[in-house]
Amino acid sequence: MTTASPGGPRWLTDEEQSVWRAYLHATTLMEDHLDRQLQRDAGMPHIYYGLLVNLSQAPRRQKRMTELAKDAKITRSRLSHAVARLEKNGWVRREDCPSDKRGQNAVLTDEGYEMLARSAPGHVEAVRQAMFARLSPQQVQSLGEIMQVIATGLQPEDADADLPWLR
């Protein structure tokens, strides 16, 4: 559908529809590419790698579970499942939060840090090959600006929004 009716939806133009579909196709392929690379080289999905990176950059390599869910943009339930798998591998452990008895921290273990250090070079190469090697410097700059505009527009301003990490 491309025609708008008074008071009805404002449908995408043919060009917008083409760009939208290209975006969906590319992001799906990119996520699959990175997932396959990390499964093959590190035995973990991309989301788990992202959690390890997030913890590696946190002070004392630890973060409250609610903050980690927020940063990863996933539900607390999905995070709990992921952390349980990472714990099973010895890469993360949970600790009670000293300032809040109800809260828990996820802590990146030395083994988890070593796994991250071993898998990072291959992951960076996969990202470089899949994205940056295909783009000119101007395209990289434009893509960065475009993604920043989109992300800024999607950041919720009210704390009561229905956000995955609050579920």
The 10s digit of each residue's pLDDT in 21-55 is 999 999 999 999 999 999 999 999 999 999 999 99
How many whole angstroms separate alpha carbon 149 and alpha carbon 139? Answer: 15
How many whole angstroms separate alpha carbon 104 and alpha carbon 93? Answer: 10
What is the pLDDT averaged over residues 77-97? 94
Is it the case that residue 164 has pLDDT exceeding 70?
Answer: no
**Which long-range contacts (C-beta less than 8 Å, at least 24 apart) are formed by 53-57?**
53/116, 55/92, 55/106, 55/107, 55/108, 55/112, 56/108, 56/113, 56/116
Residue that has been written with the tokens 């802590």 in this structure:
107
Instruction: Please indicate whether residue 166 or residue 113 has the higher confidence score (pLDDT).
Output: 113
Residue 30: what residue type?
M
Structure tokens at 9: 């939806």
Kindly report, residue by residue over 88-108, the tens digit of the pLDDT.
999 999 999 887 777 899 999
What is the pLDDT averaged over residues 63-88? 93
SS3 call for 106: strand
Is it the case that residue 152 has pLDDT exceeding 90?
Answer: no
Q: Average pLDDT of the chain?
A: 90
- pLDDT score for 61: 97
- pLDDT score for 163: 62
Report pTM.
Answer: 0.84
